[in-house]
Structure 1
Amino acid sequence: MTISFIGKVAIVTGAGNGLGRSHALALAARGAKVVVNDLGGARDGSGASSQASQDVVRLIEQNGGEAISHGANVANFDEVQDMVNQAMEKWGRVDILINNAGILRDKSFAKMSLADFTMVMDVHVIGSVNCTKAVWDIMRAQNYGRIVMTTSSSGMYGNFGQANYGAAKMAVLGLMNTLSIEGAKNNIRINALAPTAGTRMTEDLMPENIVKAFAPEAVTAGLLTLCDDDAPTRFILCAGAGGYSSASMFETQGCFIPQSSQTPESVRGQWSQLTDEAGQAALSAGSKQGEKFVSKAMAYMKSQQQV
């Protein structure tokens, strides 16, 4: 079945270059009306220019599509709200939000300033919050919404010199997890893309031939599956150079230690059972962890009553 976005309105942040540009062009090619957002800053977030986003809009229009550009800084809610207002005034709805905008300020934690840490968090995390908040009530009223967060292997697994970026990219997964629960009754599905692509964010981190292999278009093919009518929800899709995989967080079944025996030594003594991966499972909500521990406590109490 062909994936189509005819009749849909999409906002793509950071869409002047790299992955965002690829996402915007692909959505438009399949029928979406697109808000091409880009502050037009450098890789570290400095500066601003509308040229890149306007070039993407012109390319979409030359190919017969509809698009507008907007230079909102995603870390500024008033600017984001103006962007969403313009989309609503022109097209009357917002169906898809791709939270793609990002910056890098890589340094080891020892050398990293708090300002560099804060700015990366502001763009990646608060930027995703601002854009999502600005479209949330619209999507609830429509009973339809598709939102994609952009996460990273740096957040899920760590990467030297990226404490700020890694923290931000893990934070958007926490945002996804809760919003996927809250948005379910209004058919708002929220997923995350973990891309590995050759863009200006990574061009000096990889050899040229590798950068070419990691073309943004390969990642975008996966992105489109996260924001159509049949999209999953609360799914982490990893993509790069033609490879695709999913990532999940699992929790072991663990152990139970009676209250009278709860010491650091007893916890350490149960380490092999606590970490045993047999029967581990992905939890659908944070409350499920509490339910698991309560059931263990109740089973222990019942066993004691039978003695």
Structure 2
Amino acid sequence: MHLKGKSAIVTGAGRGIGRDIALLLAKEGASVIVNDPGVGRGGEATTERPADDVVAEIKAAGGKAQANYDSVSDYQKAGAMVRQCVEDYGKIDILVNVAGMLREKMIWNMSEDDFDAVVNVHLKGHWNMSHHAIKYMRQAGYGRIINFSSDAFKGSVGQCNYSAAKAGIIGLTRSIAKECAKFGITANAICPAADTRMMMNDAVIANQKRKLEAGLITQEQYDRFFAGRGPEHIAPLIAYLALDQADIINGHLFHVEKGRINTYMFGDDYKSLFNDGSLFTIDELIERIPTTIMVGLTPVVPAVKMQDAVKSGEMKKAS
């Protein structure tokens, strides 16, 4: 097990990408707080409790997990969620911010509430969770934060609220990396592509067709969008970034989907790592990522291997 003895929070973990991440982290030995308020795609209240199902699945497989039903947009409840992890498992090593929602409208039709609700869950939610978790991580001299952005950071028609929040998450992540590296904490951001209720519905499908017909995307991009990209293909990269030996990767942005992982350079694809469409394994990523897609990237923080720096006394725990 690659994460034995670690404790983690995964937000938005009741369905889709978050669910597969929680399952894999638990399989690799981490104790997991599975957060999901059970809301609809647009943040509307429901009576569903998908977090319970994921917790049951983890426990049935012999893992450790507890459910949490609060919204990451609530500052106080975000703090309580972090405390739950520390109280139940003794610490918080890993924070994976996946929780999100969508309210798609053109900017002239978008209400203030549509904008605020999306920004509060995505950008403020990421800040809330990171703010509270880092207080404990600093004291421990260790932490892994993995934030979920989106390729929508480049701009997305009908999603100005979502695009703005996702671009903000990249800036937030790079700032955390710079502020917290000396405490043994890394922060990286992910732009995933997977078939989930966030990505695939009638409106999204129709929008992709319009983009193809208007020449805004290529046939190759269109075909890849509908190639059956399961959320399970996202989880291995997250587990890899949560490892001790991923400490040299800090402040970076990755795109990940079935059979493909790539880094970015100023918003454009930089270097890519491919396979035949099978699941990447954690061991494979340990071997291949440092010698392929990370080569040539300008470090966001000084490229000091944290484990070595902690041993030599260059990095210190918070006083």
Classify the TM-score, shorter chain.
Answer: 0.7 to 0.9
Matches within 5 A, 1:164-243: 164-204=161-201, 205-206=204-205, 213-231=228-246, 232-243=249-260
Matches within 5 A, 1:97-112: 97-112=95-110
Give CA-to-partner distance per residue, 1:235-258, whole Å, 9 cap, x none: 1110112211111328xxxxxxxx
Q: Distance in 1 between matches of 2:16 and 2:99?
A: 10
The aligned amino acid for 2:255 is C
Q: Provide the TM-score with structure 1 as the length reference.
A: 0.78
Structure scoring higher RCO (CA < 8 A, sep ≥ 6) equals 2
Matches within 5 A, 1:252-291: 282=298, 284=300
1:54 corresponds to: 52
Q: Give the one of 133, 136, 140 matched to 2:138.
A: 140
Q: Give the one of 83, 88, 91 matched to 1:90.
A: 88
Q: Distance in 1 between matches of 2:47 and 2:124?
A: 21
The answer as to whether partners of 1:53 and 1:69 remain within 8 angstroms in 2 is yes
Give CA-to-partner distance per residue, 1:88-109, whole Å, 9 cap, x none: 1111100000010000001111
Shift of 1:117: 0.7
Task: Mark the runs of 5 or more structure 2 residues left unpaired by the alignment.
Answer: 207-222, 268-296, 302-319
Q: Distance in 2 between matches of 1:200 and 1:244?
A: 22
Matches within 5 A, 1:34-49: 34-49=32-47
The answer as to whether partners of 1:15 and 1:24 remain within 8 angstroms in 2 is yes
Shift of 1:49: 4.0
**For 1:225, what is the secondary structure of its paired residue?**
helix
Supply the RMSD in Å over aligned alpha carbons. Answer: 2.1
Q: Distance in 2 between matches of 1:72 and 1:209?
A: 35
**For 2:33, what is the secondary structure of its paired residue?**
strand
The aligned amino acid for 1:239 is V
**For 1:213, what is the secondary structure of its paired residue?**
coil
Change in CA separation of 1:209 and 1:159 when aligned onto 2, cut-off 3 Å: closer
Q: Distance in 1 between matches of 2:240 and 2:103?
A: 30
Q: Distance in 1 between matches of 2:125 and 2:73?
A: 4
Shift of 1:72: 1.2
After the TM superposition, list the runs of 4 or more consecutive aligned residues in structure 1 that deviate by more than 6 angstroms: none
Change in CA separation of 1:171 and 1:150 when aligned onto 2, cut-off 3 Å: same
Q: Distance in 1 between matches of 2:5 and 2:146?
A: 19
The aligned amino acid for 1:15 is A
Q: Give the one of 226, 231, 245 matched to 2:262.
A: 245
**For 1:222, what is the secondary structure of its paired residue?**
helix
Tell me which structure has the larger Cα radius of gyration.
1
Q: Distance in 1 between matches of 2:225 and 2:138?
A: 42
